[in-house]
Structure formats: structure tokens, C-alpha cells
Amino acid sequence: MAALTRNKKNRTNSQTPPLNKRTKSSPLKKAAKSQKPPLKKQRRCIPEEKPVIATDEEEEEEIEQSNQGDEGSESGSDFFSDGDGEDVNDDGGADDLLFGSDDEEGTLGSDSDESDIEIKSRAIDKKRKKEEKDAKDEFTMNIKEQPDEFQLPTKKELEAEARGAPDLPSLQIRIREIVRVLSNFKDLRPDGAKRTDYVDQLKADLCSYYGYNEFLIGTLIEMFPVVELMELIEAFEKKRPTSIRTNTLKTRRRDLADVLLNRGVNLDPLSKWSKEVGLIVYDSQVPIGATPEYLAGFYMLQSASSFLPVMALAPQEKERVVDMAAAPGGKTTYVAALMKNTGIIYANEMKVPRLKSLCANLHRMGVTNTIVCNYDGRELSKVLGQNSVDRVLLDAPCSGTGVISKDESVKTSKSADDINKFAHLQKQLILSAIDLVDANSKTGGYIVYSTCSIMIPENEAVIDYALKKRDAKVVPCGLDFGQPGFSSFREQRFHPSVEKTRRFYPHVHNMDGFFVAKLKKMSNAMQPTETDKPVETMRQAQVSSSDDDEEAEAIEDLKKPSVANGQPKRESNTKEYKNRQKFPRSKETHKGRRNTRIKSESGSGTVEEPRKQKKKRSQWKNEIAQAREEKRNAMRENAKERPKHRK
């Protein structure tokens, strides 16, 4: 038995070393190999950054750390090599040797990662500080190069610029500097500088940079402060967003938005003021004006500013409404939708070619309460009858200075004469619109006047003219936003109620430039009130008084009895009096001004004297006829007496 046990022990001793070598050598080598790759993987996980120029100190630190890492790796290899010949009796210890310790791997990986991150973070901080320092030095250098005070270019410099092509960057910088100086001219102006010089230079630069003519830029500079002027001009250079109006006769805005979103149209509700009908379109994968929904009349392509006049008009059901300039039909179809196809709408358009688009849109949108007519808007009150409708919408033809982003030709094509012509036409149209409205209407009696212009002669001046010529007043438009109208401009002074009108600008409201005014007709009287009659000038009063004095003297001379031969001739027999009788002066222009007072000049000064009371026309006519009859009778008697005296 002892021999058997010895043989077994020998067998086990002889067999175990090869097994230990097999089991230890291959796993340990694998473990030694498996310990290094995780460090590389962890290093790869660190985000790569731009190469940083390292200094000498940083390079030395990296070399030392790399040497330490090499020493650690060598010690690790020695550790595994020394353990090849030892017996491992404990299972836990064998597992540690075979697969490595998690604590050791974590400590080794964390130390190396932390060291790499610290190096890179230091390099990034150092680079950032260097960039900040360079930027600061460059900023101070630029400040030193530029003068403290902006100086206008001299005549020679301007002549040199005019010879060559315009330098747009330098023009932009100069415009910015001039605007900065003019915004606080009291504190920033150089000694001896005049504001007019800066304004003139700003006009010239804006004309050359943005392509405006001198008239339009000069008018805009007078209307707006320079800072707001630049915002307005920059807004004119950008296109306004596309907007559509839902046709409530056929669908709702929510349903329409869902359908268009499914077709690839990116849109949003316009705003709260659009009253559940407006949508703003950012982009579309299909043509927004050729979708099946558009052809079916579910919506209308319409700018946001075109919603405003109809919203201000606020038509009611079963009313009689007139749209004096209806084409292409965007506002007319909106009015029909608000009236729910009840009542009557007279859609008038003076230009025959535009009637085609008007009728097409009316049919497409399903409007059935509209009558299309082709008349001059100035004569429309004679066709439909005065005081015959409840409301009138007048979107008057204008210069288009509020839609420059759509039509850039306005920058150079409009002049002062064009503005005056449009203003004259607009005054005639608004008087015709007021005459159409019935002041005694139970629900209406309103006129809405709108233009796509920002010029004051086309807007506030027209409203002020209408207030003087007709018995009407300005009422609030019912719009929650918009800037009030001008109550005065330069030497012009308008009615205080003109401030109730509303102006809309692209740089403030992100829509086309627009003007909206709402009038309420107070009575059907066409003549202006006494306060609005033209005031008689001093020269006219003096002329009328002198004419009256001459007529009174002529009547007194005619009343004198005739005298026999040898007496001097009366004034009635002179040529001057006969010519005066042939061409009498008209007194119609001076009618109703008998009680005015004039100032007669004297040596000491001016003294007010009452005018002589003028006799009635019928009375002095009878007196002249009577005086002439007496003269004829006297001449007959003299003719009878002359033959007797000769005998």
C-alpha cells in the first residue's frame, strides 16, 4: 500500500508540472496581452482635438510620463514571468492571475486617462488665453488707427469716387458712421460741422448704395429718424413671408393646415389678429398656387396687409357693400366670406383686363352674392345712386411705396409729380365713396380708405381733405396694433382725429407698408360746414369793396337830373362808364362776405373800418333802369325844344 501511494504521488508530481506550465503560460500571456489593449481603447474614446503646439516643458512632462508607463509595463511583465514557476493552490488566486484584477486595470487606466485629459485641457486653456490676448491687441490697434471723430469726405475724395466704380464696403461703413453721428449730433458732431452737410452726404450714399432716387430718399429722411430709416430701408431689401387666407365658405383653417402639411407644406398660423383665417408658409415641396386645394377654392394667396382693410370694414350680413377697386378679388372674397354669401356686394373695377382675374377668383372661391361692374370709381355714385349702400371699401390706386420689396422699380420711377397725381385721384375717389354711403343706415354708414403707400400726401392729406368737404369723422379702425397717423408734417397741420388712422411698416410689423383709415358719415349733406369754407384774403376783400364803391357812385350819378347844354357831362356819358356797363364785374364770388372787415392803410398805421353795406342786386338793377328811362325822357324833351329855338 505504501508503495502504491508513493507511485501515485510520483505520478502526480511528475504530471502536475507540465499541466501547470500549460495552464499558466498561455493564460498569463493572454492576460498580459489583454491588459494593454483596454488602455488603448480607453484612449481612443477620448475625443480628438486640433493639434496644439506644445512647449518644451510640456514635452518633458510627456516624456517622463511615457517613461513611467514603460517602467510599469516592464514590471508587469516581470511579475507575470516570475509567477510562471510557482504553484497556485488557491482557486481565487488563480483566477486573478489568469484574468487580471479589476482594481489594477481601473487604477492604471484612470491614471493614464486623467494625465492625458489634464495635458489637453491645459493646452486648450493656454490656446484660448493666447487667442483672447491676440484679439485684444488687434482691437486696440484698430482703435489707434481709426480717428476719434468721423470726418466727411472732401470734394477731391468724392470726385475720385465718382470716377471709378462704387466701393460698397466703404460706403456701408460711411453710412453707418453718419447715422451714428446724426443719432446724437449734439454730442458727436465735430467743431464747425453742420447737420445739413451730414444729411446731404447720407442722401447721396443711400442713393448710390441702395439705388433710390433723390426724391424718395429725401422724403423718407424727413419722415423718419435716421436709425429707424435704416431699419426701414433694410426691411425693404428682404422679401415678406408668403401668407394665405382660408376660405371659410368651404373649409376651416385647422382642416386646411392638416391637408397642406401632408402635402409637404411647412406652415404656421399667422397671428391672433388674423381671426382664424391666416396661415404663413415658410417653404413647400409643391407649388403653393397649384395644389388641388387652391384650385378647389379652399384658400387664397393674399398678403397679410391685405387682411387689414376688410377687418376694419367689418361687414355685416345682409348689407349692401361696394368695393370700388376690386381686382384681383382678394378683399372682395374676404368680404363675401364674412357676410356668409348674404346681402349684395358691388365689385367695381375700372380696367377691363383685370376683370378676368376678378371673375375667376369669385367663381373659384364660391362667391354668389357679388355683382361685377366696370365703371370709373369717380362716377360710381351717379350710377348706383347717392346714399344707397351701407359700407364702402376703397383700396385706392397709389404709388406703391410700401411694397418696394415686391417691386424694386418704385425706387427710381416715382417722383413728386406722380405722388401729386395719385393724391388728386384719391381725393376724388374718397368723395365719391362718401357720397355712396347712407348716413342713416342702421348697421353701416362706414367708409374704409386704404393704400399700399407710406407717403403722407396720399394718406393723411386725403383724409383731412375729405373731412373738410363732407360731414364725416374718423373713427377707430378696430385693429389692436399699428402706429398712429401723422397729425402734422412739416408745415402741414391735419385734423387731430387723423391720429386714429393706422400705419403699418415692414421693419415693425413684418408686413408690407400699409395705411388704413375708417370714416363714419354723419349726415347726407354734401356741402362743407361754415368753418371749412375758404377764408377770404385781404386782397380779395379790398377788390370787392372797391367794386362796390364804384357801383354805388355810378348809381348816384345816374340819379342826378339832366342838365341843358353848357353843363359838364356826367360820368354815365363817358366811355369808361359805357365799357363798364358792357362788361360788368361778377359779384357771385363775393357773395356772403358783406360783413367782413378790411384794413385801410393810413399815414399813422393800419385802422380797421367796417365795409359798406352792399345793396341787393335786384334793387340797384331797378335803380339803373329807372335812371336810364329818366335820361331818355330828358333827351326827348331837349330834342323837341331845339327846333322851336331855331325858328
Determine the 3-state secondary structure of 279 from DSSP.
Answer: strand
Residue 107, burial from CB neighbour count under 10 angstroms (0-12, 13-18, 19+): exposed
Cα angle for residues 352, 404, 305 (degrees, 5° grid): 70
Signed CA dihedral, 4, 6, 7, 12: sign only? positive
Question: DSSP character for 601?
Answer: E
Cβ–Cβ < 8 Å for 322, 436: yes
Active-site annotation holder among 45, 207, 373, 452: 452
Using one digit for the tens of pLDDT, what is the confidence trace for 351-403?
999 999 999 999 999 999 999 999 999 999 999 999 999 999 999 999 999 99
Quote the distance between the C-alpha of residue 313 and its chain's center.
21
Query: Can you list the positions of beta strands (E) in 286-415?
Result: 299-301, 320-323, 344-348, 370-373, 391-395
Is residue 207 annotated as part of the catalytic site, yes or no? Answer: no
Cα separation, 319 vs 346, in Å, equals 11
pTM of the model: 0.62
Distance CA 114, CA 422 (A): 78
The pLDDT score that the predictor gives to residue 64 is 55
Question: Which residues carry a binding-site annotation for S-adenosyl-L-methionine?
Answer: 325-331, 349, 376, 395
State the pLDDT at residue 153.
Answer: 84
- pLDDT averages per 10-residue partition of the chain, 647 residues: 46 44 42 45 45 49 53 44 43 45 50 77 88 79 56 84 84 91 86 88 92 94 94 93 95 95 93 90 92 95 95 95 94 96 96 95 96 94 92 95 93 94 96 94 93 96 95 93 93 93 95 96 70 41 46 50 43 48 46 43 43 55 83 83 54
pLDDT at 444: 87
Q: From CA 464, how far away is CA 477, in angstroms rounded?
A: 16
Nearest CA to 258 among 267, 249, 250? 267
DSSP-assigned beta bridge partners for residue 301: 244
- Give the separation between CA 22 and CA 394, rounded to whole angstroms: 104
pLDDT at residue number 190: 80
Rounded to whole angstroms, what are the CA distances from 454 to 331, 387, 417, 457? 20, 31, 16, 9
Task: Calculate the alpha carbon distances from 113 to 207, 224, 533 in Å.
Answer: 63, 63, 94
